[in-house]
Amino acid sequence: MKSRVLVVSDQEGLDLKAGVANAVAAGALLGEVTLLLIGRVCQQAIQQASELAGVSELLLTGFSDSREIPGSESLAAGIVNLMEGYSHLLMPASSFGRDILPRVAGLMDQPPVTEVVGIRDDHTFIRPLHAGNALATVQLSELPALLTIRTTAFAPASTSPTPAPIRKITLNIPQESHGLSRRLGFTPSPGERPDLNTARIVVAGGQGVAEAGSFELIEAVADGLGGAVGATRAAVDGGLAPNDWQIGQTGRIIGPDIYIGAGISGAIQHLAGIKDARCIVAINSDPTAPLHSVADVSLTMDLFEALPALMEALDRPLD
């Protein structure tokens, strides 16, 4: 049987959400992809989605107000009702995918395979274990396969000259799943910085920044380089940085071109989040800090000297 793949993502904003093109590329390794976008989808995002190589049909649910979007239980039940004829369901391992896909798996009584980083065949998938220190090859005995995709592990789908047809659908949500939870509002976080998950440059700070009492220096360097700001759990727990800046096993998994970690020891749980970074720059005054041993560029220096000097050298001095 040829695989029929349903890729599902939430959508907001003008551009197609980060990670969707990567999940489509993963789906296209298995077969023909139908892409379902849930949310208020602007014309620009519709065009970008329909032109992704591998997408044979684009489905839209047509919610005009984010408050119309049903709660997670209802969405999961609606997706289950859409699964007829599909051999695979893929969702980016975003907070949306991590919320919805296990609910779909529970309703379908199928084991989910989460954080997939490789696809061997239509039943066999590779996923990280032990904070990314081991890779497990998981083989399902039966389909459908229900997968969350670690999007940094797959290059985004290219653009096809022939856009896929678009169809508006209404999710068939059973009466008993209605009303278990309801979305009351939706407020995008303010700020002009790139999204941490997809930023090409990430400047992250750890407990070593504590003596300054704030993340101002880290933020200034990130802004000077046009990057996103990240943090360790210690920095978040210490009140230096908000929770959604946390990188690592229990935070965000990032894959930038350049990651600069300042005042970060490099605990295994933090390293789990930066494994896909193409170039790691470590700034730590302790030469034995584990971050140095995984770094491409190592500066055994005080971060309060190193970061301003780095910006001077790049001709972008800090104010």
Ligand X SMILES: Cc1cc2nc3c(=O)[nH]c(=O)nc-3n(C[C@H](O)[C@H](O)[C@H](O)COP(=O)(O)OP(=O)(O)OC[C@H]3O[C@@H](n4cnc5c(N)ncnc54)[C@H](O)[C@@H]3O)c2cc1C
Residue 98 beta carbon to ligand X: minimum distance, rounded to whole angstroms = 14
Instruction: Return d(Cα 218, Cα 306) in angstroms, integer.
Output: 11
Helix H or strand E encompassing 114: strand 112-116
Assigned token pair, 181 = 């939870």
- Total number of residues shown for the chain: 319
Q: Is 217 in the site for ligand X (CB under 6 A)?
A: no
What is the radius of gyration, based on Cα positions, of the chain? Answer: 21
Q: Looking at 21, 116, 225, 235, which residue binds ligand X (CB under 6 A)?
A: 235
Site for ligand X in 187-216 (CB under 6 A): 206-208
Nearer to ligand X, 65 or 244 (CB): 244
Q: Is 249 in the site for ligand X (CB under 6 A)?
A: yes
Q: Looking at 45, 234, 295, 310, which residue binds ligand X (CB under 6 A)?
A: 234
Q: Looking at 285, 294, 308, 318, which residue binds ligand X (CB under 6 A)?
A: 285
Q: 32 vs 3, 106, 121, 164, CA distance in Å?
A: 7, 25, 14, 11
Residue 151 beta carbon to ligand X: minimum distance, rounded to whole angstroms = 18
Residue 193 beta carbon to ligand X: minimum distance, rounded to whole angstroms = 19
Q: Looking at 264, 282, 295, 307, which residue binds ligand X (CB under 6 A)?
A: 264
Q: Looking at 182, 250, 293, 312, which residue binds ligand X (CB under 6 A)?
A: 250
Q: Is 246 in the site for ligand X (CB under 6 A)?
A: yes
Q: Which range in 43-51, 143-151, 296-304, 310-318 contacts ligand X by CB under 6 A?
A: 296-304
Nearer to ligand X, 8 or 235 (CB): 235
Amino acid residing at 133? N
Q: Is 132 in the site for ligand X (CB under 6 A)?
A: no
Q: Is 233 in the site for ligand X (CB under 6 A)?
A: yes
Nearer to ligand X, 145 or 299 (CB): 299
- Per the DSSP assignment, residues forming a β-bridge with 129 are 134
Q: Is 263 in the site for ligand X (CB under 6 A)?
A: yes
233: left (phi over 0), alpha (psi -120 to 50) or beta: alpha
Task: Specify the long-range contacts of residues 136-145, CB closer than 8 Å, at least 24 apart.
Answer: 138/113, 140/111, 140/113, 142/110, 143/87, 143/88, 144/83, 144/86, 144/87, 144/88, 144/89, 144/108, 144/110, 145/87, 145/88, 145/89, 145/110, 145/113
Q: Is 267 in the site for ligand X (CB under 6 A)?
A: yes
Residues 6+ apart with CB under 8 A from 77: 107, 173, 174, 177
Nearer to ligand X, 173 or 254 (CB): 254
Residues 6+ apart with CB under 8 A from 102: 112, 114
In 166-283, alpha helices (H): 216-225, 233-237, 268-271
Q: Which range in 63-71, 101-109, 184-192, 246-254 contacts ligand X by CB under 6 A?
A: 246-254
Q: Looking at 20, 284, 292, 310, which residue binds ligand X (CB under 6 A)?
A: 284
Q: Looking at 251, 253, 258, 307, which residue binds ligand X (CB under 6 A)?
A: 251
Residue 287 beta carbon to ligand X: minimum distance, rounded to whole angstroms = 9
In the chain, alpha helices (H): 20-28, 43-50, 72-82, 95-108, 216-225, 233-237, 268-271, 290-294, 303-313
Q: Residues in the site for ligand X, rule: CB under 6 A?
A: 206-208, 232-235, 246-251, 263-265, 267, 269-270, 273, 283-286, 289, 302-304
